[in-house]
Amino acid sequence: MANEQAHPITVPFLDLQPSYKASQAAIDEALLRVARSGWFLLGQELKAFEAAYADFCETKFCAGVANGLDALHLSLLALGVGPGDEVIVPSNTYVATWLAVSQCGAVPVPVEPDEKTYNLDASKVAAAISSKTKVILPVHLYGQAADMDAIRAVADAHQLRVLDDCAQAHGARYKGRQVGSLADLSAWSFYPGKNLGAMGDGGGVSGSDEALIDAVRVLRNYGSRIKYHNEVKGFNSRLDEIQAAVLSAKLPQLHAATQQRAQIAAQFLQGLQGLDLQLPEVPAWAEPAWHLFVVRHADRDGLQQRLAARGVGSLIHYPVPPHLQPAYAELGLGPGAFPISEAMHREVLSLPLWPGMSQAQVEQVIQAVKASV
Ligand X SMILES: *Cc1c(COP(=O)(O)O)cnc(C)c1O
Query: What residues from 41 to 80 belong to the interface with ligand X (CB under 6 A)?
Result: 67-69
Is 214 exposed, middle or buried, given 0-12, 13-18 or 19+ CB atoms closer than 10 A?
Answer: middle
At closest approach, how far in Å is the CB of 294 from ligand X?
Answer: 13
Kindly provide the b/e burial profile for residues 313-326, where b requires at least 16 CB atoms within 10 angstroms of the residue's own CB. bbbbbbeebbbbee
Please identify the residue of the shown chain whose CB is closest to the bound ligand X. Answer: 68
What residues have CB less than 8 Å from 262, skipping those under 6 apart? 287, 288, 290
- Name which position in 56, 118, 142, 191 contacts ligand X (CB under 6 A): 191
Cα 92 from chain centre: 13
Sheet strands (E) in 48-192? 61-65, 86-90, 107-111, 133-136, 161-165, 173-174, 177-178, 185-189
Residue 111, amino acid? V
- Name which position in 168, 248, 361, 372 contacts ligand X (CB under 6 A): 168
Identity of the residue, 50 or 201, whose beta carbon is nearer to ligand X in the bound complex: 201
At closest approach, how far in Å is the CB of 190 from ligand X?
Answer: 7
Identity of the residue, 321 or 361, whose beta carbon is nearer to ligand X in the bound complex: 321
Q: Does 240 bind ligand X (CB under 6 A)?
A: no
| H/E element, 204 | strand 203-207
DSSP string, 303-353: HHHHHHHTTB--B-S-SS-GGGSGGGGGG---TTSSHHHHHHHHHEEEEP-
Identity of the residue, 93 or 258, whose beta carbon is nearer to ligand X in the bound complex: 93
Identity of the residue, 178 or 186, whose beta carbon is nearer to ligand X in the bound complex: 186
Contact segment (CB under 6 A) with ligand X among 4-12, 124-132, 163-171, 227-235 equals: 163-171
Q: Does 167 bind ligand X (CB under 6 A)?
A: yes
- Name which position in 34, 76, 87, 96 contacts ligand X (CB under 6 A): 96
- Name which position in 46, 139, 182, 183 contacts ligand X (CB under 6 A): 139
Q: Does 93 bind ligand X (CB under 6 A)?
A: yes
Identity of the residue, 192 or 223, whose beta carbon is nearer to ligand X in the bound complex: 192
Identity of the residue, 171 or 361, whose beta carbon is nearer to ligand X in the bound complex: 171
Phi, psi of 228 (to 5 degrees): 70, 15
Identity of the residue, 138 or 369, whose beta carbon is nearer to ligand X in the bound complex: 138
Q: Does 87 bind ligand X (CB under 6 A)?
A: no
Q: Does 144 bind ligand X (CB under 6 A)?
A: no
Eight-state DSSP code of residue 170: T
Identity of the residue, 81 or 362, whose beta carbon is nearer to ligand X in the bound complex: 81
- Name which position in 59, 97, 178, 243 contacts ligand X (CB under 6 A): 97
Nearest to 52 by CA among 32, 70, 26: 26
What residues have CB less than 8 Å from 254, skipping those under 6 apart? 56, 170, 171, 195, 196
Residues at the site binding ligand X, with contacts judged by CB under 6 A: 67-69, 93-94, 96-97, 139, 165, 167-168, 189, 191, 201, 203
